[in-house]
Amino acid sequence: MTDEILSIREIEVHIASWKLIPSKGGVFEFSVNGETLFSKKTLGRHAEPGEIRRLLEARIAALQAGA
């Protein structure tokens, strides 16, 4: 999943830093600037292939549009 996100070269200007935090119990959350975009615990499922990338691209587009 990290490779999928890091392969989006055009987003580098929007990312100040990356932090991957290991957890216990199968918890997986993806957030940008403190906003949770995906939570395995909340949804009760793993992210689908490409889902995290799409969420990230949508959030960047919203930021660029001023949302």
The predicted-structure confidence for 15-61, as pLDDT tens digits, reads as follows 666 666 667 777 888 888 788 889 888 999 988 998 988 998 898 88
Residue 43, pLDDT score: 93
The length of the chain in residues reads 67
Query: Is the pLDDT higher at 8 or at 30?
Result: 30
Contacts 24+ apart (CB under 8 A), 21-28: none
Which pLDDT band holds residue 64 (cuts at 50, 70, 90)? confident
What is the widest separation between alpha-carbon atoms in the chain?
37
Structural domains for the chain: 2-64 (3.40.30)
